[in-house]
A and B are shown apart, each in its own frame.
Chain A
Amino acid sequence: MAYKLIGKNFMPHDVRAKVTGAAKYAEDFRADGMVFAKMLLSPMPHARVRNLDISAAAALPGVVGILTADDLPPGQAPGQPALTNEPVFVGDPILAVIAESETIAADAIERIRIEYEPLPFTIDPLESLYPGGPNAIDVGNVGNLAFQPTTIKWTARDFAAASDGQLPQGQPAREWSYGDLDAKFGEAKLVLDESFVTAGMPHNSMEPRSCMAYWEGGKCFVYGSIQSQSFAAPPLARMLGIELKDLVFISENCGGGFGSKGSAYPLMMIPAYAARKVSRPVMLRVSRAEEYFLGYSRHGFQGRIKLGFAENGRILAADIYIVQENGPYAGFPDWTGAAEAVSLVYQPESMRWRGIPVFANTPPKSAQRGPGQNQIAVALEPLMDKAAKSLGIDRVALRRLNAPDNDGAIGENREPLTSAYLKEALDIGKREFDWDNRIQRSGQRRGSKVTGIGVGQAFHPAGSNGFDGLVCITPDGKLHIHTGIGNLGTYSHSGTSRVAAEILGYDWDNCVVERGDSRKNLPWNLGQFGSNTSYTMTRTNYVAATDALNKLKEIAAMDLGGSPDDYDIADEKVVARADNSKSMTYAQAAQRAIELGGKFDGHEVAEDLNPMTAASVAAIAGTGLIGAAKDNLPQHGLVPALAAGFMEIELDIETGKYEIKDYVGVADCGTVIHPQGLDTQIKGGAIMGIGQAGLERHVYDPQNGLPANVGLYQVKPPSYMDMPTNMRSAWVDQPDRQNPVGTKGIGEPVMGCAAGALLSAISDALGGHYFNRVPVTPDQIVNAAAGREQSHKPLQTNCV
């Protein structure tokens, strides 16, 4: 279908302000009488606070208050508190000093005396699973967002039964399976059984999670750094102990979140409760180091993958065990997401998954771009190379053979998919990258430099449904598209809003995107996470615009005669099909809607709208022609985003360094709504994937639980100097079958496919040496090339 706006590039309205610096982020806001909060962070990985003496701090001139855990509603483990008397990681906030300036607050913190009772701690799940091993938190050693904490210890026999470097497989917390695993392994020509480690890593959002809050007229005003808008408001109101109507939530810009700011997080309670305590606006500016201490990170895995391949390369059986380093709090279900990913990307004929999330005294974990899917991509993709080599099958061909198509399925219950074009993505990438010729260069040596060619693929669920859309045509003829999605930096707030403009045939210059502030009367939308925005919010904008379109036609029929079906739209007018002299501008229709009232101007709304949306409609009722609807479009099956990446590197075996010579990323994201945004996602995601595969990881001293990486130069996200200048992007551009405009998300797998491609290329350059670990850093490559043992033990985590 030929679209006017969908598939075309545009300049999002907030770009200029971001470039000039005029865009306001949480810490740019000020309020009269504003004071500052600074946190005191735990120096110990697990302890109980004894004898807290704040007297000297409180007496310091300029200190206006001190907020402790006792000022906040009590939490329940493993839920994360904002402040705690029992810190469970180094950097867990214990209290906050509120003062006239940040310098005074920092001076006051130095005057606080705390006696700590040290408690057992661990940074290694396997240590905690060992009989008699330490528990990271008091209520058990195993737990996750998915279930309540419990205690599971494996037996010493479980550990002894595993050979050196092999993951022991004791009692799991959860498991599922389908098919006859044993029989399928029995049929297999090749069986691989490998243990692996993937590192936890921070999100590296450019904007730390600063927050400002004040109370006025019985309402709490919160200026936060969050990826999402509407979806974050109800949990934030709950955290503050107020009704949603008493929350004013401003989240106009967010300097990156990558999953760590998906919804409201407990730290936001600090300025709000402090503001109530001292009756002044309070700003909490979070430093870069603090962001590393407490700003969330990706779950690390210790795992084991057993795969059975038929002679032709088909995966007959997959047996996956994942031990998830859960951090000290609820975390995220990466361990289950990883299993779903295997069941989809490789379509194994039979599969078993077992998993156990184990608490550790490391920073809290949250979703991070491809949570679970991208860890399993970097663990499993190298095994595909190993199998291809062993079976004598081309590496792309092996992946293509196992890749899902529209008839593919996911998970234990083999649920259907809305669309899947991974085979096509591999085909396009193979062509764009010139795989067949490039592969001839694999292993070519130039002095100490060796060429490596790699391929990788990844997946993430990419869409949801059932949320609301809201548009309003005002008597000046403008279309106001109210969107409750956030602004994490992908510009999908506008990309998806353009669907409403498309349906109504609007000139984009006559559209206004209303967003970023709960006072702008926003609809109930999903959060901006999980690669879902493109799919979910094109549906909501589609149904809202369709509602408005129907009302435009009804009004025209009422005023100009005939039935609504007799009318069409053109140039922001409703025009009779048979007689184009019979027409009415949108501006006139909007004025008529106000006169007509009822459903036309929002005085009556559909009963199935979410209360948030209904309240927003009520607030703008009478201002124009309103389109408001819940997305009740059919939805059956899971929406997969899929991606393939192809990479050539030149690896110097004397230094362990490599240069990325070329990269091609290919997306299966349905109909493309914003090519420039997609191109940026594919390339930006690749950069993050290259960091995951080659550079970034959490490191702790196991003796004291101290984190080694608390600065940008220590964490080492990739820089421009580590990236090729000629990265390329491509896409399948086949419409999804269950989205009205054919689109679906993409943000997450474009990271994992690049990470997989880099690992694939490194192993290729090293003639088939597999590290079974990410990141693969230069020291490991130097050791491998020199034929030396690695410094770390095979299953060691959070180390180097």
Chain B
Amino acid sequence: MARGDMMKGFELYQPADLDNALSLLDKFGEESWKLAGGQDSLDWFKDRAKQPKAVIDLGGIQALRGITETADGIEIGALTTLREVATNAAINAKFPLLGTAASRVASPQIRNQATLGGNLCQDARCWYYRYGLDCYRAGGNKCYADSPEGVNREHCLFGADRCVAVTPSDTAVALVALDARMVVVNKDGEREIAAENFFIGPDVNITRMTVLEPGDILKSVRIPATWAGARWYFEKVADRNTWDFALVNVASVIKLTGSTIDDIRIVCGGVQCVPRRLTVVEEVVKGSVRNDETFELAAQSASRGATPLNYNHFKIPLMENLVRRAIRDA
């Protein structure tokens, strides 16, 4: 075993435009690796747990950067840094939920370098998987975390399927709540995917966290105006207040008439491999008055169906509490 912090050599490509990037991905296929801010990639490389042949650095592609106000909301290039997202005036005016979620990612230094696309597409943070073990997600035939004495405090309550890793992203829950669309390009053209469908669990593909195929690039994120100006709530609970992944996070957007909830989207992270949209909670509270009874019903229905592991049952009350807050304090 080597943890020498020393990358293995690879071929580095730095395409200047999207077309070149796509043809490089087409050429190297499964042997390619897309590099954005590098905050996830370099960990893998330095531990030699992932050893791609060709690294395609997307950093030089201007078309992947920038924040644009459109007729129907805002479009954010995938390579826009988290700092830019967190501090952008238009985003914070229309969708403060996203700006706030971005501001809670990692640390200031990491947000200066890390990208929105990278935060959305980062790999699972299960410590066993990051260790470089031969688990299901790594192509093996075992889950170390979901074992009789597995150490799984950070792992999932829902959707276990040979893998119990959770989504580590703070911006993902915000974008699913905002009903964002992911713009994906490949050599055949461009397609738009609902954020909710962009993230996939182990039941769909145990080796990936998103629908992106090796030849795909996440180009941008479009946030429709639907929820601009809505009431919102975001909270991340992590052990530390910086440079830490969420134990559980929550994002909600709510439309009210008086004190009656007309419409709501509410999403939890850290409890499932994908951002978990709490559709049951949404149904329970839609049309209800915001009062203690509603908060309590919402909290109870949030954790319905949870199947805790050895060390993570605290996520049940934590999730319930956060859902309560996400409706009560929005």
Interface residues of A (CB under 8 A from B): 38-43, 90-91, 102-103, 105-107, 109-110, 287-290, 293, 448, 654-657, 695, 699-704, 706, 708-714, 716, 718-722, 777-780, 782-783, 785-786, 788, 791-792, 799-800
Contacts and interface: CB of A to CB of B under 8 A. Distances in A.
A90 B131 CA distance: 12
Nearest to A717: B240
Given A654-B321, A800-B311, A287 B151 contact: no
Listed residue (A41, A289, A703, A779) with the most chain B CB atoms within 10 angstroms of its CB: A779
B318 to A, nearest CB: 5
A290 B3 contact: yes
A41 B3 contact: yes
A779 B3 contact: no
Contacts of B312: 779, 791
Interface string B233-261: 00101011111110100000000000000
Q: Which of B2, B5, B247, B317 has the most CB of A within 10 A?
A: B2
Interface of B: 1-9, 43, 46-48, 107, 127-128, 131, 144, 147-151, 153, 235, 237, 239-245, 247, 310-315, 317-318, 321-322, 324-325
Nearest to A38: B4
Contacts of A657: 237
A103 B151 contact: no
B244 A713 contact: yes
Binding site secondary structure of chain B: loop
A38 B131 contact: no
21 contacts: A38-B4, A39-B2, A41-B1, A110-B8, A287-B3, A287-B46, A290-B4, A448-B325, A654-B324, A657-B237, A701-B128, A703-B149, A706-B131, A711-B43, A713-B243, A713-B244, A719-B243, A778-B239, A782-B314, A786-B317, A788-B313
A792 B2 contact: no
Contacts of B241: 719, 721-722
Interface centre among A106, A655, A777 (most CB of B within 10 A): A655
Contacts of A290: 3-5
B149 A701 contact: yes
Contacts of B318: 655-656, 778-779, 782
Contacts of B150: 701, 703
A31 B47 CA distance: 28
Given A655-B237, A779-B153, A791-B153, A708 B317 contact: no
A716 B106 CA distance: 12
Contact of A109 (B4, B247, B313): B4
Contacts of A800: 151, 153, 311
A715 to B, nearest CB: 10
B40 to A, nearest CB: 12
Given A786-B317, A791-B313, A40 B153 contact: no
Contacts of B149: 701-703
Given A39-B2, A719-B107, A788-B313, 18 more contacts: A91-B3, A109-B4, A110-B8, A289-B5, A293-B3, A654-B322, A654-B324, A655-B321, A655-B322, A701-B150, A701-B151, A708-B151, A711-B43, A716-B244, A719-B240, A777-B239, A779-B318, A791-B311
Contacts, number: 144
Contacts of B128: 701, 706
A577 B7 CA distance: 72
Nearest to B241: A721
Contacts of B144: 701, 703-704
A38, A654, A702, most chain B CB atoms within 10 A:
A654
Shortest 7 CB-CB contacts between residues of A and residues of B? A287-B5, A721-B241, A654-B321, A289-B3, A779-B314, A786-B317, A106-B6
A41 B48 CA distance: 14
Contacts of A791: 153, 310-314
A110 B149 CA distance: 30
Determine which residue in A42, A91, A718, A786 has the highest number of CB atoms from chain B within 10 A of its CB, and name it. Answer: A786
A782 B151 contact: no
A721 B127 CA distance: 24
Given A106-B8, A779-B153, A788-B313, A710 B2 contact: no
B151 A102 contact: no
Contacts of B127: 708-709, 714
A753 to B, nearest CB: 22
Contacts of A710: 3, 131
Given A43-B1, A106-B4, A800-B153, A788 B314 contact: yes
Nearest to A785: B317
B151 A700 contact: yes
A702 B147 CA distance: 11
A189 to B, nearest CB: 37
A721 B242 contact: yes
B263 to A, nearest CB: 25
Nearest to A101: B6
Contact of B237 (A39, A43, A656, A699): A656
Contacts of A41: 1-3
A780 B314 CA distance: 8
Nearest to A289: B3
